[in-house]
Structure 1
Amino acid sequence: MPADAPTILATSGGIDYGVRTRWSVGALTHHAVELSGVTGRAPRVCYLGTASGDSAEGIHNFYDMAVEEGWHGSHLQLFMMPNVPDLTEHLLAQDVVWVFGGSVAGLLAMWELHGVGEAMRAAWEAGVVLTGVSAGSICWHLGGTTDSFGPDLRPITNGLGFLPYSNGVHYDSEEQRRPLFQSLIGSGALPAGYATDDGAGVLYRGTEMVEALSERAGASAYFVERGPNGTAVETTLETRLLR
């Protein structure tokens, strides 16, 4: 069942510590599943852990969460080889695609190698809801900031570009994130974009940002654009707390 418009919920959250499982699903990811509009059956949710090397532990933890939520879970892995014969067919059969964090540079390289970007675009245009955290947020945009190359953050500029903006994640919890994101936008190295504190996300319908959301009180989202003389202007967005 497709969403009523191409939909992306890009987040710095969506997951929490579990009680009987390692992780549990956070309010942002619950909202992404609700946006798919599924009723009368289990939502089909596909996990991609490419950014963490398709960690077996991550895949196991996802299935624990899927069982806890009553989802029909599946996963798409690329190491050591793709686990499904047709990536596009598999993604088009989903209601929600959930992309986890790790190395966004590694994710984009592997996706380019296997044609995942084209498959994702087909799913997005067909109304499959795309969501994710950290690397799984930056990937849909033109670029952002990343620790993929080491502890000193660097820009990443080869995102899928479904959304014509840059993206800043972990904006309030990692001290390099905010100043570097602003500096890159101020210099023109990155286009204007949206940033999220831990526990916040931005919802796009098509390529328009329509709402900022949070699953943690005090978590905000921001729009950052280029100002005069190489500066950046940051605007805090009205952010709705999910219950």
Structure 2
Amino acid sequence: MDHSADQPAAQAAPRIRIVLVGTQHPGNIGSAARAMKTMGLSRLVLVAPERFPHPEARALAAGADDLLDAATVHAGLAAAVADCTLVLGCTARSRRVPLPESGPREAAAAMHAHAAAGGEVALVFGRERTGLDNDELQLCHGAVHIPADPGYSSLNLAAAVQVLAWELRAAMLAGGSAPAGAPRDPPASHAELEGLFAQLADTLDAIDFHKGRAPESAMRKLRRIYLRAGLDVREVRLLRGVLADAQRMARLARGGGDASE
């Protein structure tokens, strides 16, 4: 039997993780693992599950026990995606936290291309009843929306995982390997970008950028700008150097020390 069609999937799949946040029903974890395994995905990551491990999860995994055994568990989403360079959240349409939005096919193509180029990718699913909260959405580079019938759009968690897992499978089988091109620095990881955003927030405070206004709106917009840019490691270092100089100058302006410090 010719397995050559599976080679692109085998190259990209190990770099794609499915992240379930705050899962309330252990059976959904098992069903999600089964959905993943049928489509050649194996990296299951759990964030603060209410009940895991649990016999119901194992029963509904229906042979995907190896995914449950290898699953990693984290207290928060930031830790679960810290080394990722692309994080997409599967959500219903929402204006709470504006994010670049794509459908399942477009998102799957982007995830495959990113993973085939060597990046770590996370596809994040929220709680059964409430989805991802605002802080968790802020950690995502974009949103994926499954266009279900608006008259009955309630989609079970495991079913949503199956839809996206199939689209990923199709994209990996059709997409081939990443094209060769000019070498570039590796993309910045999620943790590196979060470090940049924290330093940016501190710098904006230091130069009194907000002028007494709440900083949340400006930071949301700035995050979106930088995330769209697809910064690499060297670019993040450069920007952090600029911010460090701005902070030193702000301290000097306040009489707080030598600008050369």
What TM-score do the two structures reach when normalised by structure 2? 0.27
More strand by share: 1
Which entry has the higher C-alpha Rg, 1 or 2? 2
More helix by share: 2
What TM-score do the two structures reach when normalised by structure 1? 0.28
